């Protein structure tokens, strides 16, 4: 009986969801011969963003996965996207602070987790790319990443015995372009959905309301209370009902008083944007150490201590850091509870999903 009710609730939710998708996701028909990809999203997420000119197809996603893990896209054929975005580390770079590109040159930003990207509207720590398609064009030519010229990569793909046929299946043409490569990779990236963490299983999937925190029974719920109440975390990492655990916006969260990496200001040229970076999702954060845009914190304990007592003032410190800047005064037990809550966002079925791993 209870299950039937839940199902019914899901269906109602689903129906409304699709009325919306009907309005917003104005999908073009898939290229001739390609199979529409059955793209289901959990009821407790909002609607994903799928560009009209890149509908998801089974063939496109599978081609995208192959390209994601193919060294052919790098200058000396030694690196692929997966080199710096390893699923086991929530698609970050194997625990490294900075990534090393093919020429052994090191970047100055920490690799970003690739999770629930279909909901994001800005990409990179400083938001310099506006779509996943645009983002995917970047690393290939970036001199400190894959350092390849697109024309070279494209001619290597054209000369390959299998790729032209795969592009034909996915996009209806054997003529490979960098735009089509980017589209295929973006399709694969949009399938990387994480929604099966302990928190999801215990609270969201059974549609439990979170007001359990009025009388917290366990460490996770006590941590949840800090997160959603005086910890102020929810202002930027998602309020109740917004379970992507990011507001998909940019903030200065008080890492430095003198700001060297200007973040969003580099893109907007507005000094009011100094030191603002994209809020990362907290899903699977247990696996994506080290933390922040420059990977300065090695552990989640260090991150929690930053918010508890280490916030630095500067002219662009976010309005929602006002309370945190005064210090949170968490006890050792509180910090443990907050940590337990963050760890409850880990989704092992995501990081171990064979659909996402190199085969």
Summarize as ranges the residues that interact with another protein (CB under 8 A): 3, 6-7, 10-11, 14-22, 25-27, 29, 36, 38-41, 46, 205-206, 209-211, 213-214, 228-229, 234-235, 238-242, 247, 270-273, 313, 315-323
Nearer Cβ to ligand HEC (168/247)? 247
209 binds, among another protein, ligand HEC, none (CB under 5 to 8 A by kind): another protein
Give the pair of three-digit tokens for residue 100. Answer: 């090393």
Q: Give the pair of three-digit tokens for residue 279.
A: 């809020």
* Window contacting ligand HEC (CB under 6 A); options: 9-17, 101-109, 170-178, 265-273: 101-109
Torsion sign, CA atoms 349, 355, 357, 359: positive
Distance CA 190, CA 38 (A): 12
Tell me the C-alpha distance between 272 and 317, whole Å: 10
Contact partner, 17, from ligand HEC, another protein, none, Cβ < 5-8 Å per class: another protein
Q: Which does 114 bind (CB under 5 to 8 A by kind): ligand HEC, another protein, none?
A: ligand HEC
Q: Return the number of other C-beta atoms located less than 10 Å from residue 159's C-beta.
A: 11
* Contact between 89 and ligand HEC per CB under 6 A: no
Query: What is the spatial distance between Cα 38 and Cα 57, in angstroms, rounded to a whole number?
Result: 8
151 binds, among ligand HEC, another protein, none (CB under 5 to 8 A by kind): none
Residue 99 contact partner, candidates another protein, ligand HEC, none, CB within 5 to 8 A by sort of partner = ligand HEC
Question: 38 is in the binding site of which of another protein, ligand HEC, none (Cβ under 5 to 8 A by kind)?
Answer: another protein
- Considering Cα of 43, then 338, then 111, then 250, what sign does the dihedral take? positive
| Residue 190 interacts with which of another protein, ligand HEC, none, CB < 5 to 8 Å by class | none
Distance CA(348)–CA(345), nearest Å, equals 10
Residue labelled with tokens 């990179």: 124
Cβ atoms of 195 and 201 within 8 Å: the answer is no
Of 15 and 315, the one with the shorter C-beta distance to ligand HEC is: 315
Q: Which two tokens stand for residue 252?
A: 């200065």
Q: Which is nearer to another protein, 301 or 323 (CB)?
A: 323
The Cα 36–Cα 89 span in angstroms is 30
User: Cβ distance 345 to 245 under 8 Å?
Assistant: yes
- Stretch of 16-24, 33-41, 134-142, 165-173 lying at the interface with ligand HEC (CB under 6 A): 134-142
Closer residue to another protein in complex, CB, 87/238: 238
- Shortest Cβ distance from residue 228 to another protein (Å)? 4
Candidate residues 34, 61, 63, 81; the one interacting with ligand HEC per rule CB under 6 A: 81
Q: Cβ contacts of residue 55 below 8 Å, gap of 6+?
A: 27, 28, 29, 30, 36
Closer residue to ligand HEC in complex, CB, 13/156 = 156
Q: At 196, list the tokens.
A: 């099966």
Residues listed for the chain: 359
Show Cβ contacts of residue 193 under 8 Å, excluding neighbours closer than 6 positions.
Answer: 41, 42, 115, 116, 118, 350
Given a contact cutoff of 8 angstroms between Cβ atoms, the answer to whether 70 and 80 are in contact is: yes
The option from another protein, ligand HEC, none interacting with 305 (CB < 5 to 8 A, set by class) reads none
What residue ranges bind ligand HEC (CB under 6 A)? 73, 79, 81, 83-85, 99, 101, 107, 109, 111-114, 117, 120, 123-125, 132, 135-136, 139-140, 145-146, 185, 189, 231-233, 235-237, 251, 253, 255, 277-280, 282, 285, 288, 291-293, 300, 303, 307, 318, 320-321, 338
């Amino acid at each position: 009986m209870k299950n039937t009710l839940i199902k019914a609730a899901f269906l109602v939710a689903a129906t409304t969801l699709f009325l919306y998708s009907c309005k917003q996701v104005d999908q073009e028909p898939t290229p001739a011969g390609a199979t529409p990809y059955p793209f289901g999203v959990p009821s407790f997420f909002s609607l994903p963003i799928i560009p009209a000119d890149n509908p998801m197809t089974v063939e496109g996603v599978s081609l995208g996965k192959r390209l994601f893990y193919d060294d052919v896209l790098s200058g000396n054929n030694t690196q692929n996207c997966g080199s710096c975005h390893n699923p086991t580390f929530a698609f970050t770079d194997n625990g490294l602070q900075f990534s090393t590109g093919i020429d052994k040159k090191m970047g100055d930003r920490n690799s970003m987790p690739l999770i629930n990207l279909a909901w994001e509207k800005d990409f990179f720590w400083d938001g310099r790319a506006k779509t996943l398609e645009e983002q995917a064009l970047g690393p290939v030519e970036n001199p400190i990443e894959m350092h390849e010229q697109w024309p070279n990569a494209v001619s290597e793909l054209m000369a390959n015995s299998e790729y032209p046929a795969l592009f034909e299946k996915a996009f209806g043409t054997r003529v490979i372009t960098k735009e089509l490569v980017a589209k295929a990779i973006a399709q694969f990236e949009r399938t990387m959905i994480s929604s099966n963490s302990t928190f999801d299983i215990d609270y969201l999937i059974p549609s439990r309301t979170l007001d359990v925190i009025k009388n917290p029974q366990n460490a996770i719920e006590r941590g949840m209370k800090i997160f959603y109440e005086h910890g102020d975390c929810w202002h930027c990492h998602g309020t109740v009902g917004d379970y992507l655990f990011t507001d998909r916006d940019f903030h200065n969260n008080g890492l430095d008083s003198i700001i060297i990496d200007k973040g969003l200001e580099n893109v907007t040229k507005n000094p009011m944007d100094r030191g603002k970076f994209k809020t990362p999702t907290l899903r699977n954060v247990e696996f994506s150490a080290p933390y922040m845009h420059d990977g300065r914190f090695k552990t989640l304990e260090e991150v929690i201590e930053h918010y508890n007592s280490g916030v630095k003032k500067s002219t662009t410190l976010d309005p929602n850091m006002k309370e945190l800047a005064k210090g949170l005064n968490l006890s050792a037990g509180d910090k443990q509870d907050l940590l337990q809550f963050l760890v409850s966002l880990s989704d092992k079925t995501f990081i171990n999903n064979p659909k996402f791993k190199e085969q």
